[in-house]
Amino acid sequence: MASRQDRRIDSDVGLSGKDAIRFRHEALAVVFRVGEMHLEVMLWKRAIGPFAGHWALPGGDLSDSERLGSSLARHLATKVDLTDVGFLEQLETRSDVNRDPRERFIATAYLALIATDANRSLPSDTKWIRVDALTDLAFDHGSIIYSARERLRAKLTYTNVAFGLAPLTFTIADLKGIYAAALGYDISSTNLQRVLLRRKIIEPTSNTASALPSGGRPARLYRFRDRSLRVTNPFAAFRPPPE
């Protein structure tokens, strides 16, 4: 027999035994890369309703025995063959009652970054789409993508998170392209190099890039000093140029 305290707790939360409500939970990934000088996100096209024919974030249901991160890794590996993520962190949890028209569905989204030189083939129903050209998105996935983009832009100003988008070695021009695509505005190569060297985010290697057909001195190759997240200046910020 339930104790008086047990009955009081059940009454407070409105649940008891078989009447308890359990919501479904899914893990979603906002996977970014820089392609052709634009920030792109990985999306797959839904084949069935709701939102059949619309683009959606990769991910899926959380099983009874899984942690969120393990669930996401499983879905990315099995659905889009993605295992070499350069950076991953939990972004946010969406719990709007009506975010899914079928039933109550809670979603925890992750921000994931892929290096520019990770030229992988995707399933036929999956593609990279420019973040500034998104249309026909399912559920609240557009809002989640924009939240992830703002998180990325913020972290670029005070951490070394760009290592997740960059190859192991790169020129300053290469890195400038990555920062500009992610931030959404052009930046100075000279200023970027000075800031990142001063903060000890990147360092020169002993190698140079391949010589250009037009001749000229080959560019120095750089690398990130750390390929794990590090706060480099909590009060710093890149600012867009004045209009």
Give which of 128, 135, 242, 115 is closest to 185, Cα–Cα: 242
* CA dist., res. 178 & res. 157, Å (int): 13
Q: What is the pLDDT of residue 9?
A: 37
Q: What is the pLDDT of residue 243?
A: 61
Per-residue three-class SS string for 70-88? HHHHHHHHHHHCCCCCCEE
Across 207-221, b (16+ Cβ under 10 Å) vs e yields eeeeeeeeeeeebeb
Q: What is the pLDDT of residue 210?
A: 81
Give the angle subtended at the CA of 174 by the CAs of 170 and 180, to the nearest 5°. 135
**Domain 23-156 grouped into CATH 3.90.79.10:** yes
Q: Are 170 and 179 a contacting pair, CB within 8 Å?
A: no
Q: What is the pLDDT of residue 235?
A: 63
- Take residue 52 and report the two structure tokens written for it: 């059949």
Give which of 5, 62, 1 is closest to 28, Cα–Cα: 62
Q: What is the pLDDT of residue 56?
A: 97
DSSP 3-state of 152: helix
Query: What are the residues whose beta carbons fall under 8 Å from the beta carbon of 139, sequence distance 6 or more?
Result: 50, 51, 56, 99, 100
Q: What is the pLDDT of residue 82?
A: 87
* CA dist., res. 131 & res. 127, Å (int): 12
Q: What is the pLDDT of residue 3?
A: 46
184 Rama class: left (phi>0) / alpha (psi -120 to 50) / beta: left
Q: What is the pLDDT of residue 190?
A: 95
pLDDT for 40-87, tens place per residue?
Answer: 999 999 999 999 999 999 999 988 889 999 999 999 998 888 888 999
DSSP 47: -
Show the low-confidence residues of the chain (pLDDT under 70): 1-21, 119-120, 211-215, 235-243
Give the angle subtended at the CA of 85 by the CAs of 193 and 24, to the nearest 5°. 130
